[in-house]
Amino acid sequence: MAIQPKDRLAVGVKVLPEGVEDYCERHTTALTELHERLLSETEEKTTTANFLVGELEGAFLKMLVRMTQAKSILEVGMFTGYSALCFAEALPADGRIITCELDPHAIEIASRFFAQSLHRNKIEIRAGRAADTLKTLSGPFDLCFIDADKPSYDYYYDRCVDLTRKGGLIVLDNMLRYGRVLNPVEEDARIVNALNGRLHKDPRVENVLLPFRDGIMLAYKL
C-alpha cells in the first residue's frame, strides 16, 4: 500500500516513515569501532560533523566497492576520513585510494585515524585544492566519489568522467540539497539542480539519482 503524505517525514528529503532509517542501520553490517571513534572526535573537534556520510551511507559505499570490484578510487573531499576508511576497508590488498582535502585540521584528524587502520597503506592524502590535484592525475580510476564544495561540482564531475575507466562508476553526494533542488533559490541548490539536468543528458554515462540521505547520484561511464 502506498505511503500517504501524512505518514511521511517533512525533514530534509526523507520520505520514509520515522524510524525506518534507524531500522535499516540496525539491519546493516556494522562499520568498525574505528569509525565510531572517528565520528565522536569529529563531533567534538569540528563544527561540521554533518559533513560525514554516516554509517548507512558508509556501508553503502563499501558495498559499491565490493560490487564493482574496484581497485583504484579517487575521492574528492575527504573531510576527516570517514568515507575514505570505508573505501579502504573494501578495497583488495593491492587497492589504492587517492583522497583530496583542503582543510588542514580535517587532514590532521584523518591522518591520525588512518594510522590506526590496518588498511592505512591503501590511502594517499593529497592536501590542497582538489581542482589543482585533479589536474595532476592521469587515472584511470575504477570509482570516483565527489563530496566537496558545490560551486566546483561541475568541474569535478567532468574531470572525474575523464579520469574514470569505461565501465567505472562516478558517485556524487548531496545531489538533492535537502529537497531544495525542487525550488532552487539558493546558489548551491541552483548549481546542483543544473548539474543533475546536465548529467542526466550526458551521453558519456548512464545515471540513477537515489533519494537516499541527501541524494546520491550514480553515473556509470559508457
Amino acid at 75: E
* Strand partners of residue 124: 98
Q: For the stretch 11-46, what's the b/e string if a residue is b when 16 or more beta carbons lie within 10 angstroms of its beta carbon?
A: eebbeeeeeebeeeeeeeeebeebbeebbeebeeeb
Residue ranges in the chain whose pLDDT is less than 70:
1-16
SS3 102: coil
pLDDT tens-digit profile of 67-78? 999 999 999 999
Fold exhibited by the domain 5-221: Rossmann fold (3.40.50)
C-alpha cell belonging to residue 90: 573494501
Q: Are 110 and 101 in contact (CB under 8 A)?
A: yes
Q: What is the pLDDT of residue 212?
A: 87
**DSSP line for 30-91:** ---HHHHHHHHHHHHH-S-GGGS-HHHHHHHHHHHHHHHT--EEEEE--TTSHHHHHHHHHS
pLDDT at 145: 98
Q: Which sequence spans correspond to the domains of the chain?
A: 5-221
* Most distant pair of Cα atoms in the chain: their distance: 52
Of the candidates 135, 154, 143, which has an alpha carbon nearest to the alpha carbon of residue 193?
A: 154
pLDDT for position 56: 93
pTM: 0.91
- pLDDT for 15 equals 56
